[in-house]
């Protein structure tokens, strides 16, 4: 392994958890490299506005806060390898060998997994066929394509309600379809939603099929969770916000996962495997926010630096 590139800390994922981990690790004078399959920022770049992150009383857009975090980590020496997915992590004594999508191998003394989570699918007929042709998981990305059209948002949490309100900037009507008879979103967000005349609720309904016509979405079929008649609702677009799935496949054979696939960690982000840490939405947390992801990233980096310094007898 002597000819292999060696780094101190490999951070896999460039969302708020990974970016904060990079900042803390780089400030501790470690050689820290962030591997990101796309561009830095993670899911935050698809968020129109963040209004609950301290220090921004007027709010800040998702792309802006992602770029600020990126620049701050880079300023302290963190390296970024964008469009460089990691395909495999293998233990090598007390170190790890990472293999990129292009087959390059890198030796890391510690790894912080910050791969986040991806939106769940409804897994109903028509979903796969009309993905990109009316079916979307990102209102910020695709909302402008539905100017003066009718769309349906599926879900009842904060993300669903916030995205429904965002879509009213473009759509003539937004149906909010929820399987229960009350929303799970926080009260202040619910109040804004119910005050918006463009949003119409479809309570106690689930989507059973996405119906298309001429190669694009034309309607959704809804079934009642209370035994009422089925309904076909004409819409031009479907935006799904029904939860997320953790991106933990890289470490499923290395450390413990819970029954839903989240990486199990202690309060400092350490997994069941020494030297392997996890932070952000790939770990289980009831509150999935930028601030909680950032806090977890900081803790994981602090512990990873301590682990390396103790192993290599370095003084930070």
User: What are the tens digits of pLDDT across the range 101-159?
Assistant: 999 999 999 999 999 999 999 999 999 999 999 999 999 889 999 999 999 999 999 99
CB 239 within 8 A of CB 104: no
SS3 at position 302? helix
Average pLDDT over residues 175-182: 97
DSSP summary character for residue 282:
G
Beta carbons within 8 Å of 58's beta carbon, 6+ residues apart = none
- Choose one of 218, 240, 262: the last residue of a domain: 240
Residues 217 and 278 in one domain: no
User: What are the tens digits of pLDDT across the range 197-224?
Assistant: 999 999 999 999 999 999 999 999 999 9
% of the chain residues with pLDDT over 70 = 98
Average pLDDT over residues 183-197: 95
CB 155 within 8 A of CB 164: no
Phi, psi angle pair for 132, to nearest 5°:
80, -5
Residues 232 and 251 in one domain: no
The predicted structure's pLDDT at residue 135: 96
The predicted structure's pLDDT at residue 316: 47
| Total-model pTM | 0.83
Residues 86 and 180 in one domain: no
Which sequence positions are flagged as catalytic? 138, 141-142
Residues 111 and 248 in one domain: yes
Average pLDDT over residues 81-92: 96
Residues 28 and 177 in one domain: no
Q: Which helix (H) or strand (E) holds 92?
A: strand 86-92
Residues 110 and 130 in one domain: no
Q: How many domains does the chain have?
A: 2
Residues 111 and 126 in one domain: no
Residues 184 and 202 in one domain: yes
CB 172 within 8 A of CB 150: yes
The predicted structure's pLDDT at residue 97: 98
Q: Which residue range forms the structural domain that includes residue 42?
A: 5-118+244-312
Residues 114 and 250 in one domain: yes
CB 143 within 8 A of CB 166: yes
């Amino acid at each position: 392994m002597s000819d292999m590139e060696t780094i101190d800390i490999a951070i896999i994922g460039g969302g708020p958890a990974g970016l904060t981990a990079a900042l803390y690790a780089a400030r501790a004078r470690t050689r820290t490299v962030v591997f990101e399959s796309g561009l830095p920022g993670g899911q935050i770049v698809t968020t129109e506005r963040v209004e609950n992150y301290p220090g921004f009383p007027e709010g800040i857009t998702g792309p802006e806060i992602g770029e600020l975090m990126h620049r701050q980590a880079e300023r302290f020496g963190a390296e970024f390898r964008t469009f460089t997915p990691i395909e495999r992590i293998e233990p090598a004594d007390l170190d790890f060998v990472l293999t990129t999508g292009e087959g390059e191998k890198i030796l890391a003394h510690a790894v912080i997994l910050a791969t986040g989570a991806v939106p769940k699918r409804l897994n109903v007929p028509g979903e796969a066929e009309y993905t990109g042709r009316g079916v979307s998981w990102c209102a910020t990305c695709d909302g402008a394509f539905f100017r003066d059209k009718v769309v349906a948002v599926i879900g009842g949490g904060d993300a669903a309600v916030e995205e429904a309100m965002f879509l009213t900037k473009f759509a003539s009507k937004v149906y909010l379809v929820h399987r229960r008879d009350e929303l799970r979103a926080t009260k202040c967000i619910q109040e804004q939603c119910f005050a918006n005349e463009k949003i119409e609720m479809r309570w106690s309904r689930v989507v059973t099929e996405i119906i298309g016509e001429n190669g694009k979405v034309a309607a959704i079929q809804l079934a009642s969770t209370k035994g009422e008649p089925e309904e076909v609702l004409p819409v031009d677009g479907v935006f799904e916000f029904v939860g997320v799935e953790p991106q933990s496949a890289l470490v499923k054979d290395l450390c413990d996962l819970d029954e839903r696939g989240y990486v199990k960690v202690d309060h400092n982000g350490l997994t069941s495997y020494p030297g392997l840490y996890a932070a952000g939405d790939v770990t289980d947390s009831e509150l999935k926010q930028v601030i909680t992801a950032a806090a977890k990233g900081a803790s994981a980096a602090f512990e990873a630096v301590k682990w390396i310094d103790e192993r290599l007898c370095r003084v930070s």
